[in-house]
Structure 1
Amino acid sequence: MIRLFSRCSLLLLLLGSGLQAAPQHAITLYDEPPKYPADFQHFDYVNPQAPKGGVLRQAGFGSFDSLNPFINKGVPADDIGLIYETLTRHSLDEPFTEYGLIASQIERAPDNSWVRFYLRPEARFNDGKQVTADDVVFTFETLMRDGAPQYKSYYADVSKATAESPTRVRFDFKHKGNRELPLILGQLPVLPRHWWAGREFNSGNLDIPLGSGPYRVADVQAGRSISFERVTDWWGKDLPVNRGFYNFDKLVTDYYRDNTVALEAFKAHQFDFWLETSAKNWATAYDIPAVSEGKLRKEELLNSNPTGMQGFIFNTRRHNLQDPRVREALSLLFDFEWANKQLFNGAYTRTSSYFENSEMAARGLPSAAELEILEPLRGSIPEEVFSQPFTLPVTDGSGIIRDQQRRAYDLLTAAGWKIEGDRMLDADGKPVKIEFLLAQTEFERVLLPYKRNLNDLGIELEIRRVDISQYINRLRSRDFDMLVGGFGQSSSPGNEQREYWHSSSADNPGSRNLIGLRDPAIDTLVDGLIKADSRESLINHARALDRVLLAGHYVVPNWHIKTWRLAYWNSIEHPAVTPLYDFALMSWWSTAAAEAQAEHTDPIPNQAGNN
């Protein structure tokens, strides 16, 4: 009886595993049910009957010299990713759910040791050739060998990719338990092996590439403009994940070297859409007749994404920026309250977390669950992580910050710095000069008051503005002291954290480890976050990581806002429902196309629910 029971139990276990590993139309991070069922017709945030036609004109910043966005050379053109399709599509109203796109179904091991994608036989590149598993394997191997460093970080746990048949590909993992990796692999853009044969992948150029996406490149004027045309016979146009998207017949991006000039061009209707990032402009720059007449619309839409961390980033590879006391002192000299009052019309909130605007942001002292994660690292992380909440100085907005300056001076003195005459000398006795690398003219007004505050302590801040090409090259080669940058976060952070903070990315040119972090304790926290086996565990690991990063004073935290500020001409329109995590510009449509459609059909609603 015991032997029979054991065999039955084993059979049930195997059957249960088979059920868990059954192919699905969608996958989620913790196996929670996806929002949309297998027979869904379209996402809730699109207009499935949106008219096709018309032109969307946008502005690009700086210039471009490459049509290959997958390598660490050149500056790729905006929206070039629209010519490619991925294995899956990310839903914009769920924290992290992937639905089949090139892949009709996804199957993953119950222990997350592998994932298998079943490709749609109808999937085609835009020259008519079928998208196959060989193309997927080629893409993966090419990106790992010749792609930008982020791919090596993202896919570091993949041991091999295997084409099991023309329409079935499997990825095996080095370790079990990386729950995010199957979803990350679903975001893999699939490149055509046959087109790249005989071409040099890691050479940035303006050769027009072949893709399988809804658009193809129509015209390129090097560094000045790029246009795309809609593929009218696109194989994926009727898929539920695509219905209501890609409505414009043509997309045009003209490049401007100065955002101030670009804004004036926008107000003259030289292009159609503008994402406003300046609080001052939003408050004062749109007092024009077109707005009062309703031709140019201003709209704020709720942004439910974690805002992440924008800040003045310290490059700790620089000798004089390696001491955390120095970094904390320099942070104290930024007067946010004055800037918010005088420069931003009071529109912003100070950022105090790397996971700001989310439940993953660390607040107060560590919880018991967080302490379980942090205690094994005691002695290798700052002691204040355990004893005091992270706080930022708050000023009265007058511009007088004597208390912060005194505290900063004490910290610099403790670090071995001293003032001789009117100059601050570092621990080696050299005058302190810090170069702040900048590409955007409009940010100088924010830095000039900061420069004055540093100068009061004898520290010279040189604001070095360069063109976008030089900026990117210096960024990739880590040739900067400080710069303004951000670490964006999703509602389900994971493998990208290795790209931000892990030692393995510190020396990769072009990785997002701009700080130069090489800390075993932080590596441990990143690895723990990636391997979290529940939402609760993910939150606790994110909060623990947040505390250690904040205590290291690796950035001067900036500010955030919880809305998207959108300005657009009435030549375009958007669906009635906005997704939680994006404004989904590719779901918008041309009002001229809508008027033309209305002349030939009965009126239709702008938004329909799920069928």
Structure 2
Amino acid sequence: MRPHFFARLGAGCLAAALALGATAAGAQQHGIAMYGEPALPPGFVSLPYANPDAPIGGSLATAEVGSFDSLNPYIRKGNVPWQLTYLVSESLMGRTLDEPFTLYGLLAESVETAEDRSWVEFTLRPESEFSDGTPVTVEDVIWSYETLGTQGHPRYASFWSQIESIEATGERSVRITFNTENRELALIAGMRPILQKAQWEGVDFAESDGQVVPITSGPYVVSDYEYGRYVELTRNPDYWGWDVPFRVGTMNLDTIRMDFFGDETAAFEAFKSGETDFTREFNYARWSQQYDFPRAENGEVVKEVLPHGRPSGMTGFVMNTRRAPFDDWRVRDAMMHVFNFEFINDAMTGGEQPRITSYFSNSPLGMTDGPAEGRVREFLERYDDLPEGALEGYALPVSDGSERNRAGIATALERFEEAGWTVQDGRLTNEAGEPMELEILLEQGSTENQSIIDMYVQSLERVGIFPQITLVDSAQYKERTDAYDFDMTYYRRALSLSPGNEQYLYFGSDLADEPGGRNLMGVKSEAIDGLIDTLLTSTSQDDFLAAAQALDRVLTAGRFVIPTYQWNVSWIAYDANLHHPETIPIFGDWPGWQPDVWWYEE
């Protein structure tokens, strides 16, 4: 099975998708694309990867590892089930998974922009309403943008800072004018959640109890929950938007339940026994060896491998550059040589999982081998703070696969010595005779990460480093990572075929020290900031691709994260009564696909 996007566009899909153009300026449109025109025409029936004839009813239960203590995903406080915001809240526009970055009307029936996208205007659907039956108004929209931007989770602050004004232009229309040149802002504006202003009157939004469930306009409402154990969502039969083309054929299940377990083993056992209906597998050894339980053998469980066309993103272990010794790139480089990926991969997956080679690998946005050339080199040469290898070419260390990794250890010791660290009496020490002390922070229940780190620690001990491994529960883990209170920890950033403003959150200098931010490595780089700017202001396909490839080079050569496996396919298993359309979108198994377009049928 191939993603529908590739089947439709073939080998030239990305070039066609990135052909730059703009939705007609000054005209109301049913959708808006970052590059080119929306693929679906006005009046389309449904998204191409949805089934408009899907039956309604049934349930789905998933097994989640970890815990939660809040049902408000819009504030900084609390640990929230990650799926919640995708299933209960709505925005003015909805993002299709079948195009790199295109939005179609959801709460808004139309969108209009300036030719240079210096402003965007949305017109609300007259029938749109919250789950309590009250209408969604322009006042709710304006309040939501300002409140989220000034009092909400830090991820909303950057967008708000780029708004010059937001004002009603009619009973159902609102215009947002921007104060910076950034073509993506018109699309980002369409993706902000809309909350009900009346619910929060007289309440300090930022300091509100995270256990207050926000009133939203989405097709599901929270119907039952017990903190730390489960949360259940019920389909709202009176949902206002069942006939909106973006919604047709989606949200078909009556009940969605997320059950939480202390570790991966307990979660897998719940799936094996039928207590839960769906699982995503990230452990190749388990996928290949442990799916022989009775429900799988008698056909009650379906195993499926799904392709996707999105970049690999970055998964691995991040080093906090806010702290010594990781503020020295040579130490980070040495740590990467000590990490014996080939041996670890063989132990964990039988060598079956390819390694992530860069942030945008598995896509045309990824850096090429060897020295930078052409427009990529031109972009890079603008900056004086490039990491070693960004221009010349950089590739991850590769070991011989043996446990001792002699060549990697030798190179690591050389790098440590260049940075002022040598082995004295079996310990790696600095010139003052102080041993290197590191803490690796992990969340309880992440058994695979613990296994990887256990093998890494054995390698670190060979160079005289004896790190402290700290396991904490999910609430403590969030509190500590929000405060950047770690030396090294697990890291995962999913990246899209249309990288944009979120890159500032992940890698930008301005928010590097903002509590609760996404820049876990703490990088502050003129080159990274500048290349993100170029990415967002490119007016040609060549410049966009070159900026992405240049950014990929700087991030990868910065040696901030020790990469592990690529996930260029998704391994899923589910109850045989659950079904999804044959057409798979370009993004594959991604938020917006499961459970959104699935249905239940015995």
Report if TM-score (shorter chain) is over 0.5.
Answer: yes
Q: Does 1:66 align with 2:75?
A: no
Equivalent residue, structure 2, for 1:236: 241
- Please tell me the residue identity of whatever aligns with 2:452: V
Which segments of 5 or more consecutive residues in structure 2 lack a partner in the other structure? Answer: 1-21
Q: 2:354 aligns with which of 325, 334, 349?
A: 349
Conserved 8 A contact 1:117-1:170: yes
Report Cα offsets for 1:507-544 as digits up to 9, x if no partner. 11111110111222222122222222233212111111
Of stretches 446-455 and 390-399 in structure 1, the one that deviates more from structure 2 is 390-399
Equivalent residue, structure 1, for 2:377: 371
Taking the aligned partners of 1:19 and 1:491, their CA distance within structure 2 comes to: 23
Equivalent residue, structure 2, for 1:85: 90
Q: Does 1:50 align with 2:59?
A: no
Offset, 1:61: 2.1
Offset, 1:448: 1.2
Of stretches 294-303 and 542-551 in structure 1, the one that deviates more from structure 2 is 542-551
Equivalent residue, structure 1, for 2:557: 551
Cα–Cα, structure 1 residues 372 and 590, in superposed 2: closer, same or farther, change >3 Å? Answer: closer
Q: What aligned pairs does 1:439-478 form with structure 2 within 5 A after superposition?
A: 439=443, 440-478=446-484
Conserved 8 A contact 2:144-2:197: yes
Taking the aligned partners of 1:429 and 1:555, their CA distance within structure 2 comes to: 27
- Please tell me the residue identity of whatever aligns with 1:358: S
Q: Does 1:402 align with 2:394?
A: no
Offset, 1:285: 1.5
Taking the aligned partners of 1:445 and 1:410, their CA distance within structure 2 comes to: 27
Pair member with larger Rg: 1
Q: What SS is found at the alignment partner of 1:566?
A: strand
Q: Does 1:581 align with 2:590?
A: no
Offset, 1:223: 1.7
Q: What aligned pairs does 1:253-332 form with structure 2 within 5 A after superposition?
A: 253-332=258-337
Identity of aligned residues (%): 39
Q: What aligned pairs does 1:183-198 form with structure 2 within 5 A after superposition?
A: 183-198=187-202
Report Cα offsets for 1:27-55 as digits up to 9, x if no partner. 0112x121110011011111111111111
Cα–Cα, structure 1 residues 19 and 478, in superposed 2: closer, same or farther, change >3 Å? Answer: closer
Taking the aligned partners of 1:383 and 1:128, their CA distance within structure 2 comes to: 58
Taking the aligned partners of 2:429 and 2:126, their CA distance within structure 1 comes to: 67
Taking the aligned partners of 2:447 and 2:399, their CA distance within structure 1 comes to: 27
Report Cα offsets for 1:248-298 as digits up to 9, x if no partner. 111111111111111011100001000111112111121112212211111
Conserved 8 A contact 1:332-1:405: yes
Taking the aligned partners of 2:115 and 2:77, their CA distance within structure 1 comes to: 39
Which segments of 5 or more consecutive residues in structure 1 lack a partner in the other structure? Answer: 1-16, 596-611
Offset, 1:19: 5.4
Q: Does 1:565 align with 2:571?
A: yes
Taking the aligned partners of 1:94 and 1:556, their CA distance within structure 2 comes to: 30
Equivalent residue, structure 2, for 1:433: 437
Q: What SS is found at the alignment partner of 1:505?
A: coil
Q: What SS is found at the alignment partner of 2:176?
A: strand
Offset, 1:590: 4.6
Taking the aligned partners of 2:54 and 2:430, their CA distance within structure 1 comes to: 62
- Please tell me the residue identity of whatever aligns with 2:365: M
- Please tell me the residue identity of whatever aligns with 1:461: P
Conserved 8 A contact 1:575-1:587: no
Equivalent residue, structure 1, for 2:503: 497
Taking the aligned partners of 1:590 and 1:43, their CA distance within structure 2 comes to: 15
Q: Aligned residues, how many?
A: 573
Conserved 8 A contact 2:23-2:37: no
Equivalent residue, structure 2, for 1:136: 141
Taking the aligned partners of 1:258 and 1:382, their CA distance within structure 2 comes to: 38
Conserved 8 A contact 1:56-1:590: no
Offset, 1:404: 1.0
Taking the aligned partners of 1:218 and 1:26, their CA distance within structure 2 comes to: 32
Taking the aligned partners of 2:23 and 2:403, their CA distance within structure 1 comes to: 65
Taking the aligned partners of 1:394 and 1:320, their CA distance within structure 2 comes to: 23
- Please tell me the residue identity of whatever aligns with 1:416: G
Offset, 1:470: 0.4
Conserved 8 A contact 2:313-2:494: yes
Q: Does 1:249 align with 2:254?
A: yes
Taking the aligned partners of 1:214 and 1:393, their CA distance within structure 2 comes to: 48
Taking the aligned partners of 1:76 and 1:394, their CA distance within structure 2 comes to: 38
Equivalent residue, structure 2, for 1:215: 220
Equivalent residue, structure 2, for 1:415: 419
Q: What SS is found at the alignment partner of 1:526?
A: helix
Conserved 8 A contact 1:154-1:499: no
Cα–Cα, structure 1 residues 133 and 341, in superposed 2: closer, same or farther, change >3 Å? Answer: same
Cα–Cα, structure 1 residues 300 and 464, in superposed 2: closer, same or farther, change >3 Å? Answer: same
Conserved 8 A contact 1:134-1:166: no
Taking the aligned partners of 1:410 and 1:395, their CA distance within structure 2 comes to: 16
Offset, 1:165: 2.4
Report Cα offsets for 1:185-242 as digits up to 9, x if no partner. 1111110111111223222422232111101111121221111111101110111100
Taking the aligned partners of 2:314 and 2:23, their CA distance within structure 1 comes to: 42
Of stretches 271-280 and 428-437 in structure 1, the one that deviates more from structure 2 is 428-437
Taking the aligned partners of 2:289 and 2:23, their CA distance within structure 1 comes to: 61
Taking the aligned partners of 2:352 and 2:151, their CA distance within structure 1 comes to: 43
Report Cα offsets for 1:82-103 as digits up to 9, x if no partner. 2211100111111110001001
Q: What SS is found at the alignment partner of 1:321?
A: coil
- Please tell me the residue identity of whatever aligns with 2:584: T
Conserved 8 A contact 1:441-1:465: no
Taking the aligned partners of 1:18 and 1:414, their CA distance within structure 2 comes to: 54
Equivalent residue, structure 2, for 1:3: none
Q: What SS is found at the alignment partner of 2:554?
A: helix
Q: Does 1:112 align with 2:117?
A: yes
Conserved 8 A contact 2:307-2:588: no
Conserved 8 A contact 1:67-1:208: yes
Equivalent residue, structure 1, for 2:80: 76
Offset, 1:175: 1.8
Taking the aligned partners of 1:63 and 1:383, their CA distance within structure 2 comes to: 41
Taking the aligned partners of 2:532 and 2:48, their CA distance within structure 1 comes to: 34
Q: What SS is found at the alignment partner of 2:364?
A: coil
Offset, 1:454: 0.7
Q: Does 1:182 align with 2:186?
A: yes
Of stretches 55-64 and 466-475 in structure 1, the one that deviates more from structure 2 is 55-64
TM-score by length of 2: 0.93
Taking the aligned partners of 1:536 and 1:285, their CA distance within structure 2 comes to: 46
Q: What SS is found at the alignment partner of 1:161?
A: strand
Q: What SS is found at the alignment partner of 1:533?
A: coil
Taking the aligned partners of 1:39 and 1:503, their CA distance within structure 2 comes to: 43
Conserved 8 A contact 2:580-2:599: no
- Please tell me the residue identity of whatever aligns with 1:444: Q
